[in-house]
Structure 1
Amino acid sequence: MPPRLRKFIGTILIIILVLVYALLATTIAAARLAESPWWIHLLYFLISGIFWILPAMLIIKWMAGPLPPKKG
């Protein structure tokens, strides 16, 4: 797969990941943390704010994958 296409697909995947993850994390927070103290909210959003990086790193690693061999 050409690097440009791989980067385009990866960019779209990261955008979808961020949107879906933000919606899911906010929905869980609204459903489960409504009556929790402020520090539980802080801890939850700190952890969930960092956790999305793991799948994003995999996508970025795939985007930067092996370059096709040079011709000539």
Structure 2
Amino acid sequence: MRLKKLIGTFLLVSLVIIYALLATIIAVAHLGDASVWVHLLYFAVTGLLWIVPAMGIIWWMAQPPRSRADG
């Protein structure tokens, strides 16, 4: 269980770093001449969108370990 949480922690940190870099790169490449409202909408959506994969990782971390068959 501890190994699962350690792996999940590294996955979450990696997700946040990679997601933030990608969202920023996309914003710089495509939103240079856009209005303030487009920037606001983009960063509001991308600021909340990372929660979906993070919830999946946290759900995986919270699951009890699989029982091994004694077979």
Aligned CA-pair RMSD:
1.2
Return 5+ residue gaps in structure 2 as ranges. Answer: none
Q: State the number of aligned residues.
A: 67
- Correspondence 1:4-43 to 2 at 5 A: 4-43=2-41
4+ long deviations beyond 3 Å: none
Paired with 2:15 and 2:23, the residues of 1 have a C-alpha distance of 12
Task: Name the aligned partner's letter for residue 60 of structure 1.
Answer: I
TM-score (norm: length of structure 2): 0.90
One-letter code aligned to 2:19: Y
TM-score of the pair, normalised by structure 1 = 0.88
Percent identity for Structure 1 against Structure 2 = 55
Counterpart code for 1:11: T
In the aligned structure 1, how far is the partner of 2:65 from the partner of 2:7?
Answer: 16
| Separation in 1, partners of 2:3, 2:51 | 22
